[in-house]
Structure 1
Amino acid sequence: MKMRRIMGMALGLVLTTTIGLTTAAPASAWTYEAKHCVGDLVDRCVSLRRNSDGTVYARASGRDDKDRPGDYSVRMLQVSYSYVRDGNPPAGTTVVTYGDAGWNETYEWIATRALPVPCGTSVGASAKVEWMDERTKERTTGWVSTSAVIC
């Protein structure tokens, strides 16, 4: 009798654990709502990403393409996004500014914090990237932007 009780408790524990694993909420998954890249010598990209929990953030990057002529360092100056709901003026704006974060020889990125954004909201993102020719030390600044209606 005692053995049957122990086996029953063990089976109950296994079933509870298995059911708990199969019904657990899925891990958060970020998906692209929009992405745009530009650049001849240095690639500049900005994207809008949405999480399964309804939050959205903007991410920007700059990359020296070593397969192209020239040797450039990059730095991110700013990434921002704003959104409009029902045609009203911007309902929210998030800006991340690095100021002088220093130069990176190949690649740099920054992101805004994630904010809740309801479906049907128009969102725009932009990024300011600077690159410097390592030979001449000449600096160039460029912008890249993208937009999407969330969901």
Structure 2
Amino acid sequence: MQRLTNGTWVVVADGEKALFLENEGDAQYPILRVRAVETHDNPPDREQSTDKAGQLGNRAGGTGSAIEETDYHQLERDRFAQDLAERLYKMSQKGRFDRLVIVAAPQTLGVLRSELHKEVQAKIVQEIPKSLTSMPIDKIEQAVLAEMSA
């Protein structure tokens, strides 16, 4: 069982917002303080795309097949996760954290996990696949503590 010790950083993210928190308390009574907040404006897909999905014609004269429409909203969410991985790497190189807990929406966590540098991966003590960015800090503390003591 990992502990949320003093000095552990907790990054809470989804595809549009990231909270960088540091535990100033101890493992039993964490006190998460906000060190940084990063947001990314990502309008709905309908506002980012201009055309409907296309269709490929069949050269033999039969019916064509549909082309799946690009989900620009999801592409931006993935790009945000990639940028977050890069920011965590830079923070790690500067010695900002030695222990890291990542709390992220499952899809964001998947993209983030594949983009994280080995140096950052080595500092991760827990990954929590949940979306908590809209919760107040005290509720995030409770949720992280519950996950880490499970």
Q: What's the TM-score bracket when you normalise by the shorter of the two chains?
A: under 0.3
Structure 1 or 2, whichever has the larger Rg, is 1
TM-score scaled by length of structure 2: 0.26
TM-score scaled by length of structure 1: 0.26
